[in-house]
Amino acid sequence: MERTEVQQKVVAILTPYVKNQDALATLTPETSILEDLKVNSARLVDVVLAFEDEFGIEVADDEVDAVATVGDAVNLICSKL
Distance CA 30, CA 62 (A): 20
pLDDT computed for residue 69 by the predictor: 97
pLDDT computed for residue 76 by the predictor: 97
Give me the domain span that covers residue 36. Answer: 3-80
Average pLDDT of 60-73?
Answer: 94
Give the number of domains in the chain. 1
pLDDT computed for residue 43 by the predictor: 93
Angle at 60 between CA 36 and CA 38, to 5 degrees: 15
Q: What is the pLDDT of residues 28-52, one digit of tens each?
A: 999 999 999 999 989 999 999 999 9
Q: What is the pLDDT of residues 5-29, one digit of tens each?
A: 999 999 999 999 999 999 999 999 9
What CATH number is associated with residue 40? 1.10.1200.10
